[in-house]
Chains A and B, each alone.
Chain A
């Protein structure tokens, strides 16, 4: 009689003990279903450190945003989840439900893993609230073979950029690839031209101090329209941008360096891919680069959970970043490990050589309520880049912008 009872007790104790030493599962909520496999690779690697990470993706960004908003509004914010930088992060941090991550960033910067400047992209009011899921720099990718054939070098100033484009056009090819694919790409050339011609206006545009029909914006549209008139851009109506680059429909491709993986997958020989940072227009001295950061944030409840913080530490560790980089081709800013590809490595080298001011993408910088309508106007311009459209686009953008900021001031 005693023996079965003892056996049952031993089994029960064993179960309790094993539960006690096993880490509790941590869920990473995200809207990056397309990265499920690489995220799972990180989760698998984390298991060796006793971390149980479950990847919980949502099918689309709208559903995901609604889920997070409802969770925050009901006080049940998930412990660990991905979000967006810029205006979206500001709004989320303003709810007071995010945990500041000063201590973690101190560790990350102390051993030189992350360069100063990266933290600011994930901060609100000087306080870091996130770690990078991805850190991408917006650069010009180009086909080295065409450059070699035409005897061209990556441009180092505005005049050289014009010459390179003119030479490519004269050789019968289209210099720049730019489309309105998926409805969001319209801002890419606008943000870059504004940053290169007037960095102060670039910042002012996103805080309401510069109007969308101001001389700075007018100048950008004029340059942009002129480039279109010269036939420097590809057909904006294409829905196959990546494949278009592979097919040679544009020789230079202004995009985030995360496109490298997509180009490789589409069959572009990556050894033939070159990169340069778009040069500044005359009169603009400070080298600058546009960056895009996807953040992982932690709720206050999550910060109090040691398993969540252990998971986050693993993510930014060399092992975590390396696994993520290898599996997804994404860079998170950890410089102690090998870059995930040659392009990222070259950009890192260039940034190490010359200090560049980092500017958040227009998309993240502009208030969320304006994003969609504004980008639609940029797309409208790209589809019909004439003076009438330019005037109309600027007027409509400014009317939306003014309405937003006046309402905000009132509230």
Chain B
């Protein structure tokens, strides 16, 4: 052993290392108990309202919970096997993936474009207010409004009819290939205002020096944007991405209202699929298994985002 370290240990032994350690442990114990007392109400609430229901849901997904009787016989993986063999689950999963990608890509692109456009435009406040306006409407109201825009005799078909000089009666919300893109468009229309505002705030908070320095060094606008603005804006962009991903996973209202007459409404997303199983078919245990799968996917995506967040933080520092 290193003689210096040996000496230190001998010294500590003389002054009572064990005693110091015990005292430190007692102090930490006291602090922990005090903290626990302060945290108790929150812990109690989180346990009662979040952890226990989640655990119960996981348990339910392994049972054959029966209507009325509530019989919870253990069924192993049966509900999960049933899930994979359901003719609707694959479509619901595929559409959810599409929603997650689309709800990140389109609002972000549109929001960023609008934010850059309005940043220095005269009278920007008016434009920003108009674009943000759909955000303050309830999704159900937006859904009803757009349902009629997309109706066979609706505004969109009438406009297309005038443009093509031919009667157009496309059932935007009835065709398998069109229904999801049509509802996504409504979602983008409603959500890009918020993304724009968040990005405008991010842009306003950017330090001026690196931008001015780049310009003085002769960088072109695109180069400034690509190599300076975008990296500096990364934390805001990441926050927007996280919000958009969660919105993509949890979107329900628009699909419920706008897809009401689409025959395969349950395939529009995993959330709608789960709702149908639980509340229309009363297959509670099966719906619980669906919820566990959704939860698992969201957790995995959130974990990836956390890793990404740490990387972006390091990059910005």
**A interface residues (Cβ-Cβ under 8 A, vs B):** 62, 65-66, 69, 72-73, 91-92, 94-95, 180-183, 186, 235, 237-239, 368-369, 371-373, 376-377, 379-380, 383, 396, 399-400, 411
Contact = CB atoms under 8 A, between A and B. Distances in A.
B87 A396 contact: yes
Contact of B260 (A183, A372, A380, A411): A183
Contacts of B281: 368-369, 371-373
Provide the main secondary structure of the chain A interface.
helix
A379 B263 CA distance: 6
Contacts of B261: 180-183, 237, 239, 379
B68 A73 contact: yes
A372 B283 contact: no
Interface in B289-313: none
B280 interface: yes
A371 B266 CA distance: 13
Given A91-B67, A92-B68, A95-B68, A380 B282 contact: no
Interface string B11-30: 00000000000000000000
Provide the main secondary structure of the chain B interface.
loop
B68 A69 contact: yes
B68 to A, nearest CB: 5
A376 B280 CA distance: 13
Given A183-B260, A376-B265, A396-B87, A237 B280 contact: no
Nearest to A74: B70
Contact of B282 (A65, A186, A376, A411): A65
B62 interface: no
Contacts of B280: 62, 371-372
Interface in B171-202: 171, 174
Nearest to B78: A407
A223 B69 CA distance: 42
Given A69-B282, A368-B282, A383-B174, A376 B264 contact: yes
B69 A62 contact: no
Nearest to B175: A383
B282 A182 contact: no
Contacts of A186: 263
Nearest to A238: B152
Contact of A237 (B87, B152, B265, B282): B152
Given A69-B68, A92-B68, A380 B283 contact: no
B276 interface: yes
Contacts of B169: 235
Contact of A73 (B64, B69, B264, B276): B69
Contacts of B70: 73
Given A69-B68, A91-B67, A235 B152 contact: yes
Nearest to A379: B263
Contact of A380 (B88, B152, B264): B264
Given A72-B68, A73-B70, A239-B147, 13 more contacts: A69-B67, A92-B68, A95-B68, A95-B69, A183-B261, A235-B152, A237-B151, A372-B266, A372-B280, A376-B266, A379-B263, A383-B263, A399-B87
Contacts of A379: 261, 263
Contacts of A183: 260-261, 263, 265
28 contacts: A65-B279, A66-B279, A69-B67, A72-B68, A73-B68, A91-B67, A92-B68, A180-B263, A182-B260, A182-B261, A183-B260, A183-B265, A186-B263, A235-B152, A237-B174, A238-B152, A239-B147, A239-B151, A368-B281, A369-B283, A372-B276, A372-B280, A373-B266, A376-B265, A379-B263, A380-B264, A383-B174, A399-B87
